[in-house]
Structure 1
Amino acid sequence: MSEVVARPRRRPWLRLFVTGLVLWVLTVVVTFATGNPNLVPTLVLLGSFLVPVTFVVWAFGRRHSGEVTAELLFTTFITGGVLGVLSASLLESYLLHPSPGLFFGVGLIEEAAKLVVLAFLTRRLQHKYAIDGLILGASVGFGFAAFESAGYAFTALFTEQGLSLMQLVQTELLRGLLAPVGHGLWTAILGGVLFSASGRQHFAFTGRLLLSYLGVSVLHALWDGMHSIALVVTLVLTGTRYQFSLLERGYQPQPTGTQAELFTFLSWGGLILVSLIGIGWLLVVRRRADREARTWWRVPAYR
């Protein structure tokens, strides 16, 4: 009897990521070498979409229901991402003004926009399993992140000294590294909570969903405002009278070496803390989703 050799599990998300990364690096090298502006759109799109698309493909392999098709995932990623960005931009333009609560307002608006788009695009699903809500929520969130990152990367290209490819590349690298713990994570949490009633054909507005929405919005606000928070805390802890007097007169004081180190520690430490809270929360929602899925499959068919 011939021996059967087990084949390793295929990982399409890994192949996609490696291929996309190689293409992005090649585009960076050729763009810097030739200075060809026609390559900028390719550079922006590859860098902005690589990580979000990879995570969506990875999540697709863990869906619970056959109703979550590749077509639906593509729709939530593209349509959800674009509609989320457009609606958030409109609301922020008309409703928000410079104030201490600006970041919280941005969090409330953007998370609401993504949640509404997610509910609208998935309203026709016959069974709304929480695990599928996690995946589809992440898809909308990563779509939002991809289009938002493309905008930031394009804007970073323009500086006072002219076009800066280095600024563009640095922006894409930073946002690519942070993408897994940003919009995709927050909307995945909301999607899991929204879909948490297994087998229900219609969405329900619950107290848990409201609290989750507010909590995710706070994490979003802390993430966006961490630079300002770290700056204020650094000044409160180490600021001198001379520095405060300069600030009162509208001048920006030069930070000391100790202040620069403390600011960097607080900035990155704060982002890491917010990320850990979000990941821990997602794991809790995921465990609850797994329990609901097991309960659903134990229910007799005649029920």
Structure 2
Amino acid sequence: MAVQAPNTPAAARAPRAWPRIFLAGFALWIATVLVTFLTANTALLPTIVLLGSFLVPVTFVAWAHEHDTGEHVTVELLFSAFIIGGVLGVLGASLLETYLLASPSPLQYIGVGVIEETVKLLALLFVARDMARRTPRDGLVLGAAVGFGFAAFESAGYALNALVTSQGFDLLSLVETEVLRGLLTPVGHGLWTAIVGGVLFAASPGRRWHFTGGVLAALVGVALLHALWDSVHGLAVLVTLVFTGSPWQEYLLHAGRIPDPAPGQAALILTLDVLGLLAVSAVGLAWLWTLVSRARPTGPEGAGGAPPDGPQGTDGTQDPAGPLPPRPDGGTSGTF
């Protein structure tokens, strides 16, 4: 019987790529911003927009891929999920929100959440349509890729809107927008679509998609989290004005107008904003962690996803299931 050397395999000792991606990209973004401030060279503005919008999403997709070394999620598939899924999601959301949410309504936040989470799910279905085998971890990673792709292209749009003003280009506003969205990106679109993807792939280990009650519940749940995330600021303003508002502010509220907050109220609104975003993020991260824990292989039979008696197809045939074949390095599909 051969005794294994105490040293870890070379693959396990290989340094992670995602920190280098983030640090190199962040350094390039900082350098581009500084050079643009110094030279006022508007030709550098697209570089700032692209680097600032894509840096955090690409970093998190690289992190997710490095934490799931399964054979099902190839680099090509991950790239397709990020680019194709992200673009299809942005285009679909723009069309549906333009024609279905044209009139302002208190339920508009819910409408946005439902539309954007649904189109991202449809984009994930399109990207993963040819996969013969699926595991929950595949769904977590590909769902995150689609969500982060959506976030990257959406952030680029917000950055351009912040840059172009009636007085010309506002570089400071562009930088502030990209920093804020970069900080919030990890607990937004990528998180929500990863949740739905993990639940969907857990229910669909073979070629056929199975839209179970759990999948639909996950879609509704992330849509509500999305709606709460978007409405946090409005709720913070409303709560502040209800409990600390002056008579003239209450009058404007009853008239259907949002009054400007006083300086003291602005601090309270900011506090409620932060607390609200933290609460929504905590719920999403706890939900994701539950899915990740369930997706970890616990034995040879759990290394590849579904048990042998997996879901039946609509035509009575059984979806392929069972453990994954071993990798050349002796592992199975890695750990998330």
User: Could you state the TM-score of these two structures normalised by the residue count of structure 2?
Assistant: 0.84
Structure 2 unaligned runs (5+)? 309-319, 323-336
CA distance in 1, matches of 2:279, 2:245: 24
User: What does residue range 218-257 of structure 1 map to in structure 2 within 5 Å?
Assistant: 218-247=224-253, 253-257=259-263
Counterpart in the other structure of 2:325: none
The one-letter code matched in structure 1 to 2:201 is F
CA distance in 2, matches of 1:283, 1:225: 24
Counterpart in the other structure of 1:66: 71
CA distance in 2, matches of 1:246, 1:179: 34
Question: Which moved further from structure 2: 123-132 or 77-86?
Answer: 123-132
Do the aligned partners of 2:85 and 2:123 also contact (CA within 8 Å) in 1?
yes
- Alpha-carbon deviation of 1:11? 1.3
- Choose the corresponding residue for 2:162, options 145, 156, 173: 156
Q: Residues 206, 250 of structure 1: CA spacing in aligned structure 2 closer, same or farther, 3 A cutoff?
A: closer
- Alpha-carbon deviation of 1:123? 1.6
Do the aligned partners of 1:198 and 1:296 also contact (CA within 8 Å) in 2?
no
Q: Residues 70, 187 of structure 1: CA spacing in aligned structure 2 closer, same or farther, 3 A cutoff?
A: same
**Number of residue equivalences:** 301
- Choose the corresponding residue for 1:189, options 195, 209, 218: 195
- Choose the corresponding residue for 2:88, options 67, 83, 89: 83
- Choose the corresponding residue for 1:47, options 40, 49, 52: 52
State yes or no: 1:290 paired with 2:318: no
CA distance in 2, matches of 1:145, 1:52: 7
Do the aligned partners of 1:128 and 1:197 also contact (CA within 8 Å) in 2?
no
Q: Secondary structure at the match of 1:228?
A: helix
- Alpha-carbon deviation of 1:291? 5.1
User: What does residue range 87-102 of structure 1 map to in structure 2 within 5 Å?
Assistant: 87-96=92-101, 97-102=103-108
Counterpart in the other structure of 2:185: 179
User: Which structure dedicates a bigger proportion of its chain to helix?
Assistant: 1
Do the aligned partners of 1:49 and 1:146 also contact (CA within 8 Å) in 2?
yes
The one-letter code matched in structure 2 to 1:58 is W
CA distance in 2, matches of 1:297, 1:52: 28
The one-letter code matched in structure 2 to 1:169 is V
Counterpart in the other structure of 2:24: 19
Do the aligned partners of 2:133 and 2:321 also contact (CA within 8 Å) in 1?
no
Counterpart in the other structure of 1:205: 211
Q: Residues 213, 5 of structure 1: CA spacing in aligned structure 2 closer, same or farther, 3 A cutoff?
A: closer
Counterpart in the other structure of 1:146: 152
Counterpart in the other structure of 2:122: 116
The one-letter code matched in structure 2 to 1:215 is G
Q: Residues 302, 101 of structure 1: CA spacing in aligned structure 2 closer, same or farther, 3 A cutoff?
A: closer
- Give the 4+ runs in structure 1 shifted more than 6 A: 3-7, 298-303
Do the aligned partners of 1:64 and 1:129 also contact (CA within 8 Å) in 2?
no
The one-letter code matched in structure 2 to 1:155 is N
- What is the aligned-residue identity percentage? 53
- Alpha-carbon deviation of 1:243? 1.6
- Alpha-carbon deviation of 1:64? 4.9
- Alpha-carbon deviation of 1:252? 5.7
User: What does residue range 125-144 of structure 1 map to in structure 2 within 5 Å?
Assistant: 125-144=131-150
User: Could you state the TM-score of these two structures normalised by the residue count of structure 1?
Assistant: 0.93
Q: Deviations over 1:25-73 (max 9, x none)?
A: 0000001111111101000000000000001111111225312110000
- Alpha-carbon deviation of 1:254? 4.3
